[in-house]
Structure 1
Amino acid sequence: MSVSTKLDKLHQAFSEKCLERTGKLPVIEHDTAWPSPCEQGEVDEKGLIQWCAVPQQPAGSLEDLAKALELSFPEDLSPLFGHVYAGNLLLSIDDHHIELLQAWNEDDFSRLQQNITGHVLMKRKLKQPETVFIGLTEQDDLLITVLVESGEVCLEYVGKKPHHVLAKSISEFLDKVTV
């Protein structure tokens, strides 16, 4: 099964869990200056808006970024960020509560690429293996990253080398996470 299909299934499960718990799709604080094609319905009395993942048209790609950084990103990295516009997914893996990053809109996809660039350049400066962050954990300084060279999904403290492999690939990682 492709990463895009696995991501669709995770978004569906996340939306269903939110509907089951709250009677609403996932919600996010609405920002009129930061609209997204995934927004659903009207802003509620708390300033929140529901969202549902929608396909990016055309699909976003990290190929130009990889070329600019003179890297070959793992094949599954582009669909992880370029398949849909959506809010971040709240998931669990190996007793960690994580937030899998997603692109909210086209500008967010561009900002994500800028952040990846900064992260890769920092890793080079520190003479550490190059990684791309894909998620956050309950600890402010602990990231979910992908090792560029191997494609492994790891835990990594900010400014440190990855220290724990969660999955051998993005595809395996998506199989292991739970909603």
Structure 2
Amino acid sequence: MALTISAQLDKFVSSYVEHAKGEGLKIAFDSEWPSPCYEETAQDGELVEWAPKRQSPPLSFNNVEDALSLKLHADYCSYFTTYYSDNLKAKAPQGDCELLQVFNREDFERLQQNLIGHLLMKQRLNQAPTLFFGLTDEEDFILTVINETGEVALEQVGQAPTQILANSLSEFIEQLSPLNA
């Protein structure tokens, strides 16, 4: 039985943090970009420890769904409303990728604006809605969830998805191994 997206994300985040043991997860501190992820405060630009933190209460995509009259795939919504985190670098069977995450509430608002722009572009191009969640090491190729099916696809920006990578977001994340940079 496959894990829920939330449980699979818990498992991956846990292995990501474990993989970073020793040197730890470091990020440049930015007082203008507050986040529950910071483990300490410092002068702007100084490296500080950080860790993914559960959202409490979880954020919501309701306003995007209302604005576009579109129900977003539940796995996609869970994916972005489980943790506050910096992006997570990973190795997939197809190559390296970066899982987008939201660092704070403002970052989530920016994600929603970008998602609306992406969905409106898809509509203009008469393409089925896809929901981006990751970057690849190939320029102009992104990881998306096909909204209708929940499948994970490789998609060139502005094009319809060309390759299905997994049947679900949970299945896709299950095949990843952490890359801490």
Aligned residue pair count? 176
Q: What amino acid sits opposite 2:131 in the alignment?
A: V
The 2-side partners of 1:130 and 1:28 are apart by 34
The 1-side partners of 2:34 and 2:64 are apart by 24
Q: What amino acid sits opposite 1:178 in the alignment?
A: S
Q: What amino acid sits opposite 2:68 in the alignment?
A: L
1:125 equivalent in alignment to 2:100: no
Partner of 2:96: 97
Partner of 2:107: 108
The 1-side partners of 2:168 and 2:162 are apart by 16
Partner of 2:162: 163
Partner of 2:11: 9
**Root mean square deviation of aligned Cα:** 1.7
> Secondary structure of 1:76's partner?
helix
The 2-side partners of 1:3 and 1:41 are apart by 29
Deviates more, 1:136-145 or 1:65-74: 65-74
What's the CA shift for 1:168? 0.9
The 2-side partners of 1:97 and 1:124 are apart by 29
TM-score using structure 1 length: 0.91
Alignment of 1:25-174 (within 5 A): 25-43=24-42, 47-174=46-173
Contact 2:9 2:173 in 1 (8 A): yes
Which 5+ residue runs of structure 1 have no aligned equivalent? none
The 1-side partners of 2:32 and 2:44 are apart by 18
Contact 1:147 1:153 in 2 (8 A): yes
What's the CA shift for 1:46? 6.7
The 2-side partners of 1:93 and 1:137 are apart by 10
Q: Percent identity?
A: 39
> Secondary structure of 1:33's partner?
coil
What's the CA shift for 1:98? 0.5
Deviates more, 1:96-105 or 1:2-11: 2-11
> Secondary structure of 2:20's partner?
helix
The 2-side partners of 1:137 and 1:60 are apart by 26
Q: What whole-Å deviation, never above 9, does each CA across 1:90-117 have from its counterpart, x for those lacking one?
A: 1121231000011100111111111100
Contact 1:60 1:78 in 2 (8 A): no
> Secondary structure of 1:24's partner?
coil
Contact 2:31 2:44 in 1 (8 A): no
1:178 equivalent in alignment to 2:180: no
The 2-side partners of 1:91 and 1:171 are apart by 14
What's the CA shift for 1:50? 1.7
Contact 1:62 1:77 in 2 (8 A): no
